[in-house]
Structure 1
Amino acid sequence: MHETMDFARRLKNIHLRLILQVALTGKLQTAADEIALSQPAASRMLAEIEKLVGVPLFTRHAKGMVPTPIGDAVVRHARQIIRAFDNLEMDVAQISSGRAGSVRIGTVTGPAVGLVVPVVRSLREQRPEVEFTIEVAPSASLMRGLDEGIFDFVVARPAQDYNRQSYRIYPARSEVVSMLAYKDHPLATQKAIRLKELRAFDWIIQDHGTPIRAAVETAFLTNRVLMPTQITNTSSLLVALALLEQSTAVAPQSQEVVELLTVSALDMNVVRLDVVEDIRVSPFFVIARSDRELSPLAEHVILETTRNI
């Protein structure tokens, strides 16, 4: 076992970067160009790496190179190691130049608007030199990114079978679902609308299994109303807005998103329908890895975020 695993200690930074580029591009020549190697040198290096590991990391096809299962594992760890080295270089440069650093946040859509953006705005006034990265994605993608070190922390919903000991979990808040429609919708000015009145219209909604879709389906079931039959599934807010334009469709979105589109200075030609039923999405959490030490700056952003829940 010791001899088998010793290869990890012998891999160099350039080895890891070559592996990542091959996995990313699928072509050895392109990967070589990206890291300033000749194609023969890259070919020899990949052969050396695979000899160290003891098995092929890629299968060669006519259309490119694809990681083997062991190759996938090596690529995944290489990505984390390279990111750690890049972060080290960035931290040293920031400390040397007096900059405060960067924070990488992953979040689902509703909290991105209602929770993360206000915190970033506030901190931006206090620390204008801080570089924030905010990525919006489904919870499953965010949790994978957190595990891989892509994010310092995420605002998401972990899967039911997650290992709680691996994470720091901070208090949750539920999302409220509001109904978005084009400004000339027949029910745009009507008060106290019920779900059964909306069933006959087209619906633009997230796909099965997503939190808002589950909340809407539960609301229809609880109120003994059949789900609409005319549904377009999309997770893209941009697509939803385009489909709403000049139509009588209805699009359930988080309350924070609807308020941004209808109450702010944005002129999106959409309105919030006054629906009676209270529709709530399962709670989201602020989550960080328990086995990873974060920078004081990232910890401060987590603290400010949890204070606003």
Structure 2
Amino acid sequence: MKGKPMAFSKQALARRLKLQQLAIFEQVLASGSISAASRELHMTQPAISKAIHELEEHFGQALLTRSTRGVQPTAFGSVLRKHCHSLMAGLRLLADDLNAWNEGVSGKVMVGTLLTAAAQVLPHAILRLRDIAPQVVVQVDVGVNEKMFPQLLRGEIDVVVGMIPPSGHLPELVHTPLLEDTLCAVVGRSHPLATLRRIRLEDLRGCDWVLPLSGSQAMRAADIFFQTIGMNRPTRTVESVSILTSLGLLVDSDMIALMSFNVARQFVQLGLISMLPLPQEVPLTQVGYTLVRGRTLSPATQRLLQALEEVALGRIDIHPTHKGIDAR
């Protein structure tokens, strides 16, 4: 195989080389002979010899020298062998990554969430997911359904976790309830109402409130809340979807905030806020996850949904009347 050395390019190598040929070449050198490689690869010796010959024809160079002691790489073969090691190692890593992805133990899940789920249900599910699939990356974006659902339909996020909308809303979406929640009124620990064991509507009127965003499903739930307790929607308000902003306003002022019971319960137990004992019970809402109907889910997303359902089954502990919560 003499003549002018052949010039190689990435495109030419990708077009003509076969990974199986390189794997055979590597195994022949690792085994020390064609006969030993045939046993390792469960191939006939002629098939192995043919693969080596095709490589030599492609490169225009001899790759092996044969002797009674077996086969050794030529100088050109040694160069090829070095890169074969890297290629085969890369293939093994690729196989591991693909298998991990198929099993849902790697990959990335994009989650849109509302405050109703962001403070407790979703974090517990993410922690459970990390126990079984620590390589999965979960990216969380907080907002309202009116923002999240269009992103979900565009494929920018994989699942929305939060308040389930009324039936008939966007037929392209399918909703799975996980648990029931309710809205409650909360204040900072130093608020004048925080120590009262009984709240009258007169105590609530004229106060400044932290409410959900206008036009959002959460605000529609807030309107039902006020109708239920016999109040008009307050006019002196701050609208926020940020739990940190809401907490900051409550701690540093005499504002009242509407908050998911499940969210508020955590901060009451931490001693940051107090829950007001309302004169009437308020309707329950459903919290769950939303997907695009018929869209194939990645294994990692399926794992997260499984974790959400497991967490919900172990955490259905809603008290609409707020009994058992220290409202002082």
TM-score (norm: length of structure 2): 0.57
Q: 1:278 aligns with which of 272, 277, 281?
A: 281
1: distance between equivalents of 2:98 and 2:231?
Answer: 63
Residues 198 and 162 (structure 1 numbering): CA distance in 2 closer, same or farther, change over 3 Å?
A: closer
- Counterpart of 1:73 in structure 2 is none
Do structure 1's residue 290 and structure 2's residue 290 form an aligned pair?
no
Q: 1:132 to 1:246 in 2, by over 3 A?
A: closer
Q: Work out the percentage of aligned pairs sharing the same amino acid.
A: 23
Matched residue, 1:95 = 97
Q: Is the 8 A contact 1:212 1:252 kept in 2?
A: no
Which amino acid is the alignment partner of residue 240 of structure 1? S
Q: Deviations over 1:89-136 (max 9, x none)?
A: xx9697169562222221111112232111111121222222111211
Q: Tell me the equivalent position of 1:152.
A: 158
Give ranges in structure 1 of 5+ residues lacking alignment.
Answer: 1-90
1:177 aligns with 2:183: yes
Shift of 1:186: 1.0
Distance in structure 1 (CA, Å) of the matches to 2:95 and 2:174: 29
Note the C-alpha offset of 1:281: 5.8
Counterpart Cα distance in 2 of 1:162 and 1:211: 11
Cα displacement (A) at 1:238: 2.9
Q: Distance in 2 between matches of 1:170 and 1:231?
A: 32
Residue 131 of structure 2 corresponds to: 125
Residues 42-63 of structure 1, C-alpha deviations (whole Å, 9 max, x = no match): xxxxxxxxxxxxxxxxxxxxxx
Residue range with higher mean Cα deviation, 294-303 or 93-102: 93-102
For the structure 1 residues 96 and 171, does the alpha-carbon distance in structure 2 shift closer, same or farther, using more than 3 Å as the test? closer
Deviations 1:15-45 (A, max 9, x none): xxxxxxxxxxxxxxxxxxxxxxxxxxxxxxx
> Structure 2: how far apart are the matches of 1:189 and 1:205?
22
C-alpha deviation, 1:286, in angstroms: 1.5
Mark the structure with the bigger radius of gyration.
2
1:208 aligns with 2:214: yes
- Taking the aligned partners of 2:202 and 2:307, their CA distance within structure 1 comes to 41
Residues 238-296 of structure 1: per-residue CA shift (max 9 Å, x gap)? 332332233221111111221232314xx6x4322222332346434422223321122
Q: Which runs of 5+ in 2 are unaligned?
A: 1-92, 313-328
Corresponding residue for residue 253 of structure 1: 259
Query: Greater shift after overlay, 107-116 or 281-290?
Result: 281-290
Q: 2:182–2:285: 8 Å Cα contact kept in structure 1?
A: no
Name the structure 1 match of 2:303.
300
3-state DSSP of counterpart to 1:200: coil
Q: Is 1:228 aligned to 2:234, yes or no?
A: yes
Q: CA shift at 1:159, angstroms?
A: 7.0
Residues 271/100 of structure 1: CA separation in 2 closer, same or farther (3 Å cut): same
8 Å Cα contact 1:216/1:279 also seen in 2: no
Q: Could you say which residue in structure 1 is the equivalent of 2:197? A: 191
Q: 1:127 to 1:239 in 2, by over 3 A?
A: same
Alignment check: 8 A CA contact 2:229 2:279 kept? no
Instruction: Write the distance in 2 (CA, Å) between the matches of 1:105 and 1:175.
Output: 20
Q: Secondary structure at the match of 2:191?
A: coil
| 1:298–1:273 distance in 2 versus 1, CA, 3 Å | same
**Equivalence for 2:321:** none
The alpha-carbon distance between structure 1 residues 200 and 162, as it changes in their structure 2 partners (threshold 3 A), is closer
Tell me if structure 2 keeps the 8 A contact 1:119–1:304: yes
